[in-house]
Amino acid sequence: MAFQLGDDDFQSMSEMNLIPLIDVMLVLMIIFLLTATVLNPTVPLDLPKTSAVINEQPPEVIQISIDKDAGIFWDSDPISIEELDVQLQQQSASGKDPAIQLRADKDSKYDTVAQVLASASQAGLSKIAFVNE
Locate the domains of the chain by residue range. 61-130
Indicate the helix (H) or strand (E) that contains 77: strand 77-79
Q: Is the pLDDT of residue 130 over 80?
A: yes
Q: How far is CA 26 from CA 22, 31, 127, in A?
A: 6, 9, 52
Q: Is the pLDDT of residue 76 over 90?
A: no
Q: What average pLDDT does the structure give for the chain?
A: 80
Higher pLDDT pick, 80 / 35: 80
pLDDT of residue 39: 67
Pick the CATH number of 61-130 from 3.40.640.10, 3.30.420.270, 1.10.760.10, 3.20.140.10: 3.30.420.270
